[in-house]
Amino acid sequence: MGEIKASIQIDASKINEQLCELKELLNFPVGSLESIPQHFVDFIFSHFSALIDDIVISNVSTTFGTTNSIVTIFSVEIGGELERCTAAIRALKLNLLTHKNIPN
């Protein structure tokens, strides 16, 4: 029996997509940052580490090559903590819009 080579890969493309979406949510119109409460800023910064702690495996695929090789790919993404964080950002934006603190 010959040697079997194995490789493990991590596909983090979903995390990249999720962080791009989060970045878009954090784009506030010019002039609106003065009206963001400090407790909200503290909430966002305190949850960045929680986002990192909430990375989960979403899919595992294994392929067997013809040259006695095994490739296992782990797809990862940020779990439910991201939804909690984005919900808070959306709520703040809605609150700012309804109180007309954002200039047109």
**Tens digit of pLDDT for each residue in 16-65?**
999 888 888 877 665 665 666 777 777 777 778 888 899 999 999 999 98
Residue 103: pLDDT band with limits 50, 70, 90 = very low
Which pLDDT belongs to residue 30? Answer: 58
Q: What is the pTM of this model?
A: 0.70
Pair of tokens at residue 9? 């890969």
* Both tokens assigned to 80: 């439910």
CA distances from 99 to 18, 32, 69, 103 (A): 29, 11, 61, 11
